[in-house]
Amino acid sequence: MPIIYKYLTREIIKLFGIVLITVISIYVVVDFFEKVDDFMEAGLSVSRTFTFFLLKIPFIIVQITPVGILLATLLVFGLMSKNYEILALKSSGVSIYYLLRPVLFLGLLVGTLLFFFSDIIVPLTTGRANRIWLQDVKKRSEVTSKEKNIWIKGNRKITHIKYYNPASKTIFGITINFFDEKFKLIRRIDAEKGIFEQGKWIMHELLEQTLETESGNYRIIFRDEMTEKLDFLPEDLKRVIKKPEEMSFKELLTYIRKVEEEGYDATIYRVDLYAKPALPFVCMVFCILGIGIAIRGERVESIFFSIAYGIGIAFCYWIFHSFCLSIGYGEMLPPFIAAWTANFVFLCFGIFTLVNAE
């Protein structure tokens, strides 16, 4: 390996580590002070609190890594440009594209490791962290879910939901059992779906069975639509359902197939499925952007402006990426296009910036 390649790789990794540790420390400290009142109110032990934040670190790493690579690349090439090292290399006939090779390889390596890290480690740690928050801190053990099935225990009431679509705030395959003081079934509702509108759950295509006290028989009534007061809101369901970040790529794909086989819409999960490999790929995109931004001008005093410009670019990427995902959730774009549009747009911008810098 050429000396210049070793130098670039070593410096980028060193600065990337510094950026990653700094951002993680700041995030954990801020998050701790935001949640410390909840921990004290719940009586959570110090060891349990420490475990909670330790389990959140892998998810933070996945979110910060692309930005860390961008900042590390900006700093390395910005300092080289400030010290006229880029100018000296160009004068010696070294092309920018020659310097791009080790950075692209590093971006590919980091992106690959990031994908497997987010696919294996993050689902385990995120799931455990969420359980600590819901069960130990928020005391919401009365709501349980596994894959599509959600069970909710209320006041003399047990509700079972086969599938919940958070995008449309719609529940499917609802069964509600009502009990008396002796835990005897006095009423049951089976509905095809329920939609949350104007603060109420509206059931559609339902069958209602009500116990008649005198005869001991159940009176059966079919209804096309009925408003029913339930013990939960869409926000409660969103908190307890298994989230895409708690599932691996294979697990999420299997979940989507099960949902679609039962006739439910799994568009939002398909968007999240395609977004899983899209996030690691952006490491390479940011490497190209970082080099192009850092050496695009001849002013040696522009390094801090380049860093600020790069942070702004990263912020714009997350905003645009989130916007595209939202459009995909709303079925205005195909899931694959929604997940990869931001990567394609910023890749084109990075190539354009790099060509102008050369």
Q: What DSSP string describes 242-253? A: PPGGGS-HHHHH
| pLDDT on residue 1 | 65
Considering the domain architecture, whether residues 281 and 310 belong to the same structural domain is answered as yes
Residue 90 lies in a domain: yes
Residue 282 and residue 346 in contact, taking contact as beta carbons nearer than 8 Å:
yes
- pLDDT of 297 above 70: no
Of 98-107, 110-119, 241-250, the range with the lowest mean pLDDT is 241-250
pLDDT at 13 over 80: yes
Kindly report, residue by residue over 195-218, the tens digit of the pLDDT: 988 888 899 998 988 888 777 788
Three-state secondary-structure class, residue 317: helix
Higher pLDDT pick, 315 / 198: 315
**pLDDT band (50, 70, 90) for residue 136:** confident
Are both 85 and 17 inside the same structural domain? yes
Q: Are residues 25 and 113 in the same domain?
A: yes
319 in a domain, yes or no?
yes
d(CA 5, CA 342): 29
Q: How confident is the model at residue 141 (pLDDT cuts 50, 70, 90)?
A: very low
Structural domain includes residue 258: no
Higher pLDDT, 151 or 174: 174
246 domain-assigned: no
In 43-150, where does DSSP find H-type helix?
A: 46-82, 85-91, 96-131
Q: Report whether pLDDT(232) > 70.
A: yes
Tell me, yes or no, whether 67 and 210 share the same domain: no
DSSP H or E run through 191: strand 185-197
Given a cut of 90, is residue 240 above it in pLDDT? Answer: no
Domain that holds residue 188: 148-233
Domain count, the chain: 2
DSSP state at residue 225:
E
- Assess whether 160 and 128 both reside in one domain: no
Same domain, residue pair 46 and 128:
yes
pLDDT band of 300, cuts 50, 70, 90: very low
Give the relative orientation of helices 335-357 and 96-131 as an angle to the nearest 10 degrees: 150
Say if residue 133 is in the same domain as residue 7: yes
Task: Kindly report the pTM of this predicted structure.
Answer: 0.77
321 near 333, Cβ under 8 Å?
no
Mean pLDDT for the chain overall: 84
Q: Is residue 256 part of a domain?
A: no
Six-digit token pair at 18?
A: 């510094």
Are 80 and 169 within one domain? no
Tell the burial category of 197 from Cβ atoms under 10 Å away from its Cβ (0-12, 13-18, 19+).
exposed
**Residue 335: predicted pLDDT:** 93
Assigned domain for 215 exists: yes
For residue 141, which of 126, 157, 149, 130 has the smallest C-alpha distance?
Answer: 130
Residues above pLDDT 70, as percent of the chain: 93
| Assigned domain for 311 exists | yes
Query: What confidence tier does 327 reach under pLDDT thresholds 50, 70, 90?
Result: very high
12 shares its domain with 153: no
